[in-house]
């Protein structure tokens, strides 16, 4: 398994020119690097940590087509008056941060209108459909097929008001061919006997796969990359310098590597890195966190559940339960906060008998989101520079197809899906 010990960490460049350097070894970077190596490119994948140790580790591991529904929808607009009180477990914000970037947040709200939401969910659906296929194939190829489990996902509503508030989303899911079943309290109890009878309705998304450890799955795909001859370097990247026909990738002690082309897949760090190249990516950092609990006997639920009123997701991982809280929109540099985690721990205790916390510390991170909630995959306005980021709440699920799209575009192949909605040029970057 890939880790600091078998990562090929080299202090300085070996002087060889790689075809492509991929910066960032989360699900997006690993998938891009793997697909590029398959297309015959020499690839160096560089990360400050071992693969899959940041956002691609901390997420809930849910892989499902329903993630085609972006955060900014007509439903969000309707809920906005309540959300402005800034007391919801599911979505909070730092008003000063929003005031510093009015343009990107106004665009986020503008995109929430129905016509834009339907167009965007279609694009996201195409990426997810392809990605689910790729996850199943990649996990098998890596010898880790049992890590991606077909468990299903259950969305739960405590009140008629909140269930009714999501009617629009269910209509869109059904029209797009997604199989969903609405459950009453007795059916919820049949399906998940560990749940206390506090739910008014449930919606079951049977076609959902759950990773038992998203970080380990990312590492397994990175192992496939190195197995195919890709080179992995563990070092922080400080910047890029263009010299003649190549990019020099700069580290603390000099040049880490040289490559004809560079792919930036730096997740929530992407905007800060692009700023060093004079490019502005209007990223919204949806801060998030998880806390883990010991499973005593049987897991309290057998599939991932999301409690809409409680503002949490609760997911069985390998040997432990992972509780993820909702979103806090804030600067990526703002200190982590446990306010929402503490609130959702109290909320999940209303739903299940919760085991003790594991001895692992809380994890804090950020979903890398763009104002239209569509990833940015494609060419940047500098020579031989490419971008793969902005996969918001569904980057673990959609990473493999995003990497495939990036590799197809970079090598001039016809992509499996329409690349137009994902073009970074839809933002004025320079």
Which residues of this protein are in contact with ligand FAD, per CB under 6 A?
23-29, 46-49, 53-56, 58-62, 236-237, 265-269, 288, 290, 324, 365, 367-368, 389, 391-397
* CB neighbours of residue 180 within 10 Å: 16
Shortest distance in whole angstroms from residue 67 CB to ligand FAD: 6
Instruction: Give dist(CA 218, CA 53) in Å, integer.
Output: 9
Matching residue, tokens 């916390």: 357
Shortest distance in whole angstroms from residue 399 CB to ligand FAD: 6
Shortest distance in whole angstroms from residue 215 CB to ligand FAD: 9
Instruction: Give dist(CA 125, CA 127) in Å, integer.
Output: 5
Cα separations in angstroms, 416 against 126, 219, 250, 334? 9, 25, 34, 39
Q: Which is nearer to ligand FAD, 29 or 202 (CB)?
A: 29
Cα three-residue angle 154-158-162, rounded to 5 degrees: 90
Q: Which is nearer to ligand FAD, 247 or 269 (CB)?
A: 269
Shortest distance in whole angstroms from residue 302 CB to ligand FAD: 17
Q: Closest Cα to residue 313, out of 68, 62, 66?
A: 62
Q: Closest Cα to residue 150, out of 191, 212, 208?
A: 208
Q: Which is nearer to ligand FAD, 81 or 377 (CB)?
A: 377
Q: Closest Cα to residue 266, out of 285, 291, 243?
A: 285
Q: Which is nearer to ligand FAD, 63 or 261 (CB)?
A: 63
Shortest distance in whole angstroms from residue 297 CB to ligand FAD: 25
Shortest distance in whole angstroms from residue 134 CB to ligand FAD: 13
Query: Do 183 and 204 meet the contact criterion of CB atoms below 8 Å apart?
Result: yes
Shortest distance in whole angstroms from residue 370 CB to ligand FAD: 11
Query: Do 207 and 151 meet the contact criterion of CB atoms below 8 Å apart?
Result: no
Matching residue, tokens 């993820």: 324
SS3 371: coil
């Amino acid at each position: 398994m890939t880790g600091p010990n078998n990562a090929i960490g080299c202090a300085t460049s070996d002087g060889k020119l790689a075809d492509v350097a991929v910066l960032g070894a989360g699900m997006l970077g690993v998938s891009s690097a793997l697909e590029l190596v398959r297309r015959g490119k020499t690839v160096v994948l560089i990360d400050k940590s071992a693969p899959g140790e940041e956002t691609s580790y901390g997420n809930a591991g849910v892989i499902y087509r329903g993630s085609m529904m972006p955060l900014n929808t007509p439903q969000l607009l309707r809920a906005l008056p309540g959300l402005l009180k800034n007391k919801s477990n599911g979505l909070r914000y730092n008003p000063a941060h929003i005031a510093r970037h009015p343009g990107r947040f106004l665009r986020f709200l503008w995109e929430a209108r129905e016509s834009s939401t339907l167009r965007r969910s279609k694009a996201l659906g195409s990426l997810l459909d392809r990605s689910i296929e790729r996850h199943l194939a990649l996990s098998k190829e890596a010898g880790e097929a049992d890590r991606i489990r077909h468990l299903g996902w259950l969305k739960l509503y405590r009140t008629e008001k909140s269930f009714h508030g999501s009617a629009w989303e269910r209509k869109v899911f059904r029209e797009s061919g997604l199989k969903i079943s609405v459950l009453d309290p007795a059916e919820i109890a049949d399906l998940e006997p560990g749940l206390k009878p506090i739910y008014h309705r449930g919606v079951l998304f049977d076609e959902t796969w759950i990773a038992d450890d998203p970080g380990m799955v990312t590492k397994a795909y990175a192992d496939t990359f190195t197995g195919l001859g890709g080179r992995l370097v563990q070092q922080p990247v400080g910047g890029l310098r263009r010299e003649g026909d190549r990019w020099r990738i700069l580290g603390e002690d000099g040049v880490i590597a040289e490559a004809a082309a560079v792919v930036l897949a730096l997740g929530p760090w992407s905007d800060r890195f692009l700023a060093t190249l004079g490019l502005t990516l209007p990223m919204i950092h949806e801060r998030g966190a998880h806390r883990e609990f010991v499973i005593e006997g049987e897991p309290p639920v057998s599939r991932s559940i999301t409690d809409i009123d409680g503002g949490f997701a609760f997911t069985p991982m390998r040997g432990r339960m992972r509780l993820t809280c909702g979103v806090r929109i804030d600067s990526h540099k703002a200190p982590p906060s446990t306010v929402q985690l503490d609130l959702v721990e109290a909320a999940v205790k209303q739903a299940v008998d919760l085991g003790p916390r594991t001895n692992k510390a809380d994890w804090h991170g950020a979903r890398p989101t763009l104002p239209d909630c569509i990833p940015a995959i494609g060419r940047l306005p500098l020579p031989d520079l490419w971008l793969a980021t902005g996969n918001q709440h569904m980057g673990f699920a959609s990473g493999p197809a995003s990497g495939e799209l990036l590799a197809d575009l970079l090598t001039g192949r016809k992509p499996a899906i329409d690349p137009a909605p994902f073009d970074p040029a839809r933002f004025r970057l320079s």
